[in-house]
Structure 1
């Protein structure tokens, strides 16, 4: 991933979490953000052991201060996790890597990871964006197009979208007539310009509704703060959502974090164990870092105990022939679906809303691909980009009046979720995990992603988009 885009997004997220000292991970883990000077542990004896082990290691190591080691807060009631301070967040060097090394030997003896970073989980167009939305022509329909069939409250499939909230005028888009949930907290600034990522949850709901009209969709604004949340808080918010609405048939989640650990996220342990014992299917975006580093929670799909309850989804490019340039990939990604230049509901159905681009496009694909990807086109200059004077200076502004095009695994995930829901209706299936397994078993489509032939889902109402980038003026 292009480092300049990552740094732009880092500053954006840091402003949304002003009281949390954040730092970026090593270069070999693109998109990794976490809380500086803090490690995340389970409560009880494990927390005490980690605290003692880190303090002992810091006592013996020059330059590290054992007095900084201590619990930040008590274990959370529902998740059991707690944060342990391992350094002065206002200091220079981040001490988290030192602290994690201090407990590695004990972890190897016990066969269980005891501590980890307190990651920032973010929507999958945030710290690793596919692109920003583009207004769709008024003459253009949704893509995937709205499927036939009606809504039956007695048999409707329950879908919970964990994302940003619904825009105020979402009911003006007919497919969202059976969609409820949280309102987007703030849509525009004092100047009336749309904030970045507003409409993300609405766009996702529109995709699910288009593919599966017989759904009751609830959108929860769990990620309204620039699409970012600390791992230590995320499971609690997920529990709040399912406690409020009940466990649905399907959860569509387009957020996560890269992480090199192979056993998941400590902060999500409790939620994932309860998910495993329910009948709910979690459909999760694979992330947009163009990397094979696991992206959690999508990567739980590769763990045997979660293989039937988590479906990880990567993105196909606009023509559907292969993987999108930005999509994460690897054996932990179960299936790929269209995720580039999809068209769905955004905002401005009642009154058009202006938007100013935050990022600039590139002269070459930032992931090294050689097709007409969204890195390149449509060209625009953004507010956050350095060197705007070299690309036209003034940031570009557009108007949204309903539908938009957007790209990312954020939107491939609800394509898969919609297809599972549609199958449940078509075949009278009540178990979403069985429906997902049968959907994948019946899928004959394949696509090439980074040299591998992988399963691909291409909805019958989806139209391939073949883009030719116009030549730049001489």
Structure 2
């Protein structure tokens, strides 16, 4: 059942990237999206080698003409990567798996991966959402609530949120009064209905500001385009985000892609190498696939050379006792924080705005959990699921009037980032990596996630939330 929402989102993301032929893999389990007929390589000698090796293999064994294998465009600046076409992208067959096999022997001899898929990197509530936002009355408090620390521009911790942009009236929400950054490009459609995932970056900033009020938060709309971008472009966009204002203390990133590759994403090699040489801490979401497949860049936290500069974050369920049904898990996830049914700002407070649900809820948890999770409650029927046997009916519409309740590792991430920033303020710690290490060392709390006891961070102002399960008619 779990891939259903993934397939629904595939169509949504494909429409947002109309000029890119996309496919999904590795099989019907639909673990990730990637560019069809193209592999990603490091520019220079490795690109020449891969191009020649794949061309020779394909012309000898698959009958392709030599021009079907060629480099596409110049080196992408500091990222140092380029794309190689390895077949006809309009053809029925995806040739990427064959191309990767053609260079596998050389990779074994050289001791490093030479080519990889050009994944679609997406916000971590996008390709496999934890859920969609639920309206919350203005009288409801934020959860996590605002910590007692006050904002001091002279000592504030600098946090960069790389996500969707800020909604136009975000400053109407008191916790975001001094948050700056990019505006959301388009908030509503022609009928005045919120686009899917509008407010994602605003919600994250609100969570972060609640946990750590003494922060200068900048939100960059790097993922405004339906929250999805090709891996080949993502590294350059991250460089652009940090170059605008300088490397911050903390980057909160609720985006990535699953990949079984054990050494990360070729498209992020350049950015991660520069990150390693800075003092910045990258706090990254573990993803919402309910899987132990590494989700990158969060999974860089498990690689020794990046262990001190990347903190990967999974999500606890609403009662905080164990992992949320949707959270990715495994030894590469360093810590878990509340990420189910959090409350923060989706819009400002100036004008109520309608939203139409894109996905339907399920009769049972799509990941097999036995608690009242967000897969099932609150009930709604979505546009992308219309016509499916298990749902049917008209899609449900709600009105947002400021606050929302939302779930995903996307939102556990700013909880963890906020706790690191709060520790920096409390201990006057200037090194965010040392603050993260100190936070983890001092965290004696644990939670049960898929049978394992794992480190857990629960902010003092966070309140456990009970799911409201509708009564069954007699």
8 A contact 2:284–2:311 mirrored in 1: yes
Query: TM-score of the superposition, structure 2-length normalised?
Result: 0.98
Give yes or no for the alignment of 1:265 onto 2:265. yes
1:343 is matched with 343
Alignment of 1:279-358 (within 5 A): 279-358=279-358
Q: Distance in 2 between matches of 1:220 and 1:472?
A: 44
1:439 is matched with 439
Local SS of the residue matching 1:384? helix
2:399 is matched with 399
8 A contact 1:388–1:394 mirrored in 2: no
- The gaps in structure 1 that reach 5 residues or longer are none
1:390 Cα deviation from its structure 2 partner? 5.6
Q: Distance in 2 between matches of 1:392 and 1:227?
A: 27
8 A contact 1:220–1:241 mirrored in 2: yes
8 A contact 1:172–1:349 mirrored in 2: yes
Distance 1:29 1:306, change over 3 A: farther
Local SS of the residue matching 1:36? strand
Local SS of the residue matching 1:419? helix
Give yes or no for the alignment of 1:163 onto 2:169. no
1:34 Cα deviation from its structure 2 partner? 0.3
2:200 is matched with 200
8 A contact 1:31–1:127 mirrored in 2: no
Local SS of the residue matching 2:79? coil
Alignment of 1:113-132 (within 5 A): 113-132=113-132
Give yes or no for the alignment of 1:36 onto 2:32. no
1:391 Cα deviation from its structure 2 partner? 3.4
1:86 is matched with 86
1:364 is matched with 364
1:13 is matched with 13
1:423 is matched with 423
1:410 Cα deviation from its structure 2 partner? 0.2
8 A contact 1:329–1:449 mirrored in 2: yes
8 A contact 1:29–1:260 mirrored in 2: no
1:304 Cα deviation from its structure 2 partner? 0.1
1:403-434 Cα shifts (integer Å, max 9, x gaps): 10000000000000000000000110000000
8 A contact 1:65–1:87 mirrored in 2: no
Local SS of the residue matching 1:279? coil
1:83-130 Cα shifts (integer Å, max 9, x gaps): 000011100000000000000000000001110000000000100100
8 A contact 1:2–1:367 mirrored in 2: yes
8 A contact 1:29–1:259 mirrored in 2: no
1:380 is matched with 380
1:251 Cα deviation from its structure 2 partner? 0.1
1:26 is matched with 26
2:178 is matched with 178
Local SS of the residue matching 2:77? coil
8 A contact 2:386–2:394 mirrored in 1: no
1:229-249 Cα shifts (integer Å, max 9, x gaps): 000000101111111010000
1:29 Cα deviation from its structure 2 partner? 6.0
8 A contact 1:30–1:289 mirrored in 2: no
Q: Distance in 2 between matches of 1:31 and 1:224?
A: 23
Number of residue pairs aligned between Structure 1 and Structure 2: 474
Q: Distance in 1 between matches of 2:108 and 2:303?
A: 19
RMSD between aligned residues: 1.2
1:58 is matched with 58
1:467 is matched with 467
1:66 Cα deviation from its structure 2 partner? 3.6
Alignment of 1:217-256 (within 5 A): 217-256=217-256
1:388 Cα deviation from its structure 2 partner? 5.6
1:387 Cα deviation from its structure 2 partner? 2.6
- The gaps in structure 2 that reach 5 residues or longer are none
Local SS of the residue matching 1:287? coil
